[in-house]
Amino acid sequence: MDRRVRVRNDMPPGHIRTPAYLRGKCGVIERTLGPFPNPEQLAYRHKGRPLALHRVRFTMAEIWGDAAETPTDTVEAEIYAHWLEPADAA
Amino acid sequence: MPHDHHDHLSPSGHPFRADNDHPLSYWQALEIAVRELLIEKGVTTAAEIAGQIDAMDNRTPANGAAVVALAWTDPDFRAALQHDASMATAEMGFDIGPMKLIAVENTAELHNIVVCTLCSCYPRNLLGLPPDWYKSRAYRSRTVREPRRVLAEFGVTLPEATHIRVHDSTADMRYIVIPARPKGTDGWSKKDLADLVTRDSMVGTGLPKSPDALV
């Protein structure tokens, strides 16, 4: 996976640990953790598929655009691998 | 008698203090029913449940403060904490269980602050139960959007040049902030240093106490 990634811009129903405010946003992988069982499956008592968990760093400018308080400040969040795609994907 | 509404008054004429006067919610009733059944069937006992609640209540920010004081005084531990905070703190006797811990260090250039926008994930084994504000929608939604204004409301105003990094605890990791060691504390004992470390300084919403505070 490229270090620069985009969070999938999907809104599926269910127990999702990817915050909505980060969907569709681009960031850089800070470190990779896991594998951890997929919480979207665990929540419904299925066996969780082991997934890499990436800590992704986003700038405030990327998340909030012109409304950013300080554009260069950053947010880091843990995003499961199946929620990430290469940042240059269409 | 000056009051007419007798059902709201104690026999001495004072209003009763508000208490848990509303009916149980669905989940409260369910919790009581499951708990009573587990006790009735001998799966657990009331004493075991009370003991577990006691153990949870006894975890306090003093655990986290001991971790910070050791990181300030022992370079090997500080390196171990950076490398694998779960393991480093477990060796001190603070086992985080199935969760994993990341320690993030504040410097003159960088200030870290922790939030869980989705719920209220918090390193309870090191900091005890989270304060009510940590679970509030206001803290959870504003910290990722305007951390500097949130910090100002906690009495922390940082220079524009200090980079702010917000950690949204979205999944399996828990976070503890290792605040910068206050100046003027050279040669201090770990115990005295730990006394400077506040709960909020380990969440990132505060700074350690000034050394003058202990004099």
Domains of chain B, first to last: 26-58 (no CATH), 61-214 (3.90.330.10)
Q: Can you give the pLDDT at residue B152?
A: 97
Structural domain boundaries, residue A48: 4-86
Q: Can you give the pLDDT at residue B109?
A: 97
Pairwise CA distance, residues B194 & B183, whole Å: 14
Q: B33-49, pLDDT tens digit by residue?
A: 999 999 999 999 999 99
The CATH number assigned to the domain holding A54 equals 2.30.30.50
Q: Could you give the 3-state DSSP secondary structure of residue A15?
A: coil
Mean pLDDT calculated for residue range B141-153: 98
Pairwise CA distance, residues A86 & A8, whole Å: 10
The crossing angle, in degrees rounded to 10, of helices B61-73 and B75-83 is 120
Closest CA to A52 of B96, B117, B171: B171
Residue B118 tokens read as 């989705």
Q: Which of B146, B167, B172 sits opposite A76 (nearest CB)?
A: B167
- Region of poorest pLDDT, from B6-10, B168-172, B189-193: B6-10
Pairwise CA distance, residues B180 & B68, whole Å: 9
Q: Can you give the pLDDT at residue B10?
A: 82
For B173, nearest residue in chain A (alpha carbons)? A78
Q: Which of A17, A63, A70 sits opposite B171 (nearest CB)?
A: A17
Q: Can you give the pLDDT at residue B14?
A: 87
Mean pLDDT calculated for residue range B23-39: 96
Element (H, E) at A54: strand A50-59
Higher pLDDT, B93 or A6: A6
Q: A20-78, pLDDT tens digit by residue?
A: 999 999 999 999 998 999 999 999 999 999 999 999 999 999 999 999 999 999 999 99
Element (H, E) at A4: strand A4-7
For A37, nearest residue in chain B (alpha carbons)? B172
Q: Can you give the pLDDT at residue B215?
A: 61
Mean pLDDT, chain B, whole residue set: 92
- Evaluate if residue B18 carries a pLDDT over 80: yes
Q: Could you give the 3-state DSSP secondary structure of residue B87?
A: helix
Residues of B with catalytic function: 116, 119-121
- Neighboring chain A residues of B144 at a CB cutoff of 8 Å: 21, 63, 75
Amino acid at B12: S
Residue B210 to chain A, least CA–CA distance (Å): 26
Model confidence band, residue B156 (pLDDT cutoffs 50, 70, 90) = very high
Q: B94-113, pLDDT tens digit by residue?
A: 888 777 999 999 999 999 99
Pairwise CA distance, residues B88 & B37, whole Å: 40
The sign of the CA dihedral B73, B79, B80, B82 is positive
- Evaluate if residue B214 carries a pLDDT over 80: no
Mean pLDDT calculated for residue range B197-211: 97
Mean pLDDT, chain A, whole residue set: 93
Mean pLDDT calculated for residue range B175-191: 96
Query: For chain A, how many structural domains are there in total?
Result: 1
Residue B181 to chain A, least CA–CA distance (Å): 23
Amino acid at B133: W
Q: B54-80, pLDDT tens digit by residue?
A: 988 889 999 999 999 999 999 999 999
Q: Can you give the pLDDT at residue B11?
A: 84
Model confidence band, residue B17 (pLDDT cutoffs 50, 70, 90) = confident
Residue A7 to chain B, least CA–CA distance (Å): 14
Prediction ipTM score: 0.94
Model confidence band, residue B2 (pLDDT cutoffs 50, 70, 90) = low
